[in-house]
Amino acid sequence: MKPSRMTRRQLAGAILTTAATAAAAQAPSSPPSPPAGELQDARDQNQRTGETLAKVQVPIETEPAFHFAA
């Protein structure tokens, strides 16, 4: 039996197909969750920032004009 020959393009295609199949088979990993204390600190800071911004009076002239176009 004579060994079959494979071109470089055929070899690259076989490798890419195998790699794509292996990548698709892996389950996506979930991002690590931040520690509970760090998350609560960020929420508290957002709350304080929102309260501070709510106290600031902004004249209507500084408001941008909104034009929604579909």
DSSP 28-51: PPPPPPPPHHHHHHHHHHHHHHHH
Q: Which of 43, 46, 64, 62 is nearest to 54 (CA)?
A: 46
Structure tokens at 17: 């197909």
Tell me the per-residue pLDDT of 16-63, one tens digit each, with 9 for 90 and over.
887 777 666 665 666 677 687 888 999 999 999 999 988 988 777 776
DSSP code of residue 53: H
**Res 5 pLDDT > 90:** no
Q: Specify the pTM.
A: 0.38
Would you state the pLDDT for residue 27?
55
